[in-house]
Structure 1
């Protein structure tokens, strides 16, 4: 049995940094506790200069190509299930039950059918916003809660609605209007608190010991203490419970929080986009406690120094410091 672990996105970032520092393959292998052959193969992923992002994309592409095919990639099997749902109005459980009754066993479970419907609509094209095949099921694609369920999302105290946010923040005409979120790793583990300046798209990120309100509050205090007061105008978080103690930050740092409507990620588009970039370094399910502060800082640096088309290929860091010099 092999105990080999694939290189992570963070390790690829470190390899790129070590190469830029002029380290040999042997030195890189020693620092990462990997074999020289592993590092050599990784470096040769890129035909010219080694780039961590390109190498990670190449790895994901090749990994996807070598995976075991999904059960419903079989066109004949998929068509029979689609027909049973759309034409015969059978439920997934009835489809599986009929297979077992007529053929002795089923090649899939009814859970698999539901999963593939929600994952990609069983391969049937659908128009934007449509529920697709789920509309043919008896529950019409709607989710249900157990009896007695009480909606708790979005119930934290709200100081200001997004509509009350200053016009300068809406139009991104100044530094200091920040979007706020958390990037979750392993369930119940550390999280990454992320703040994005709406004007420059500059990223600030720091670890919090869990997604509860208190550790997130402590991390935000540490971040806020490093930000000059004249570029700390507004904060736009989501309505997660981890931001339930925002009033304490308003009292201490004189900064107001403006909350969008529940389930409206587009109201914090810069934050959502940057969190997507972070996922290239920290995939879902990663134990963030195993990532060092040095690795987090390197990730933040790479994101802040990447060229941005919206800024004429200047980086967020360049735009931020250019604006700061005008404030000085």
Structure 2
């Protein structure tokens, strides 16, 4: 313990190294400036100068000079010295924004620090207690949101079982439970609960938990396009009305085939551009132009007239009788440019989703029309981001109600 010196004459800065170190250690432990000066035995002005790098301005109305910025140990976490500086500036009734500017930190960082680590009862910000709270909060791993909330976990797992994607689940939960933030979860949290080692709140076989069944994320591959083999003139997509492009008017469809193993079976897929509503047409083991035309005519004749405006297809040989289809269904057919699958983007996306139900290389003829209808119903019951998290079935029902 230092004693107050009897000789109060100036001794110079170099002769007070021990006192300076003791004073700064006491301040770091949370001791106030005046008390630390009394214990060490120095003038309060000296302690103020050691702490802030300048002489005390008590009783003088002069503009305050900014103290030396503490050096952060990392750009992410506040250091003990920074928390002491925050406490000092708060006692001077400085705004959070000016504190942030003086320390070279973001205002949101200072605001979050004071909100999280102030005393829960009094609201006072004490730097060493704040440091202890931050240290206690930091250890990893922690229990994830899924693991801590059984209701949320059950809802997410149920939607995964219905083959909803994590993003669809996230958005639908926010929409269905707007006043229950404990049931709000990001899609990345769902992926973390499935993938990250040590959590596993939703850990199951990935092929059952996610629609893709993939263990890693990877971009889709685009398939080759068939060459045109038509005798009747085609109407190209460049001649398609502008109302089709902006999806404002319902009744415009995109179509294609998904092919089974050994090219021996097929299913026709139809997607309405405005609602993303899906129809699956059973073709069995025949995909001749005549068989495809008859099947598409039968499917389209189940729709009301205002939902039969046009059909966009690629240049596959199965549409060789497109003129016959157009006359029977009263729908013009527009053809995409070669090697341009993005011109039927909704249908291409749907065909990718359908591969979960109908894997490549499998025999598609074994699926009955009723089974295809069940798969289409499941796809039409999924909330879609592009529809504001409505489902295609909800959008189509709204159109039908408005028409009636």
Q: Does the TM-score normalized on the shorter chain lie above 0.5?
A: yes
* Normalised-by-shorter TM-score class: 0.5 to 0.7
Q: What does residue range 169-184 of structure 1 map to in structure 2 within 5 Å?
A: 169-184=244-259
Deviations 1:133-178 (A, max 9, x none): xxxxxxxxxxxxxxxxxxx821313331111111111111111100
Q: Say yes or no: does 1:154 pair with 2:228.
A: yes
Larger radius of gyration between Structure 1 and Structure 2: 2
Cα distance in 2 for residues equivalent to 1:254 and 1:318: 26
The answer on whether the counterparts of 1:188 and 1:211 sit within 8 Å (CA) in structure 2 is: no
Cα distance in 1 for residues equivalent to 2:355 and 2:307: 27
SS in 2 for 1:281: coil
SS in 1 for 2:271: strand
Specify whether residues 52 and 255 from structure 1 end up closer, same or farther in structure 2 by C-alpha distance, changes over 3 A only. farther
Aligned match for 2:332, one of 256, 260, 263: 256
Specify whether residues 311 and 188 from structure 1 end up closer, same or farther in structure 2 by C-alpha distance, changes over 3 A only. closer
SS in 1 for 2:269: strand
Counterpart of 1:186 in structure 2 is 261
Give the alignment's Cα RMSD to 1 decimal: 3.3
SS in 1 for 2:361: coil
**Shift in Å at residue 223 of structure 1?**
0.5
Aligned match for 1:200, one of 255, 275, 282: 275
Q: Say yes or no: does 1:289 pair with 2:365.
A: yes
Return 232-241 or 292-301, whichever deviates more: 292-301
> How many matched pairs?
203
Structure with the bigger RCO (C-alpha within 8 Å, sep 6+) is 1
The answer on whether the counterparts of 1:190 and 1:207 sit within 8 Å (CA) in structure 2 is: no
Gaps of 5+ in 1: 1-15, 18-45, 65-119, 121-151
**Shift in Å at residue 59 of structure 1?**
5.4
**Shift in Å at residue 52 of structure 1?**
9.6
The answer on whether the counterparts of 1:158 and 1:259 sit within 8 Å (CA) in structure 2 is: no
Aligned match for 2:383, one of 300, 307, 316: 307
Counterpart of 2:215 in structure 1 is 61
Cα distance in 2 for residues equivalent to 1:265 and 1:57: 22
**Shift in Å at residue 314 of structure 1?**
0.7
Q: What does residue range 1-328 of structure 1 map to in structure 2 within 5 Å?
A: 54-55=208-209, 60-61=214-215, 153-156=227-230, 157-209=232-284, 210-328=286-404
The answer on whether the counterparts of 2:207 and 2:214 sit within 8 Å (CA) in structure 1 is: no
Give the structure-1-normalised TM-score: 0.55
Cα distance in 2 for residues equivalent to 1:182 and 1:258: 16
Cα distance in 2 for residues equivalent to 1:167 and 1:302: 31
Gaps of 5+ in 2: 1-160, 163-199
Specify whether residues 282 and 52 from structure 1 end up closer, same or farther in structure 2 by C-alpha distance, changes over 3 A only. farther
Deviations 1:294-326 (A, max 9, x none): 322221111111011111211111111112222
Specify whether residues 57 and 217 from structure 1 end up closer, same or farther in structure 2 by C-alpha distance, changes over 3 A only. closer
Counterpart of 2:180 in structure 1 is none
Cα distance in 2 for residues equivalent to 1:243 and 1:304: 26
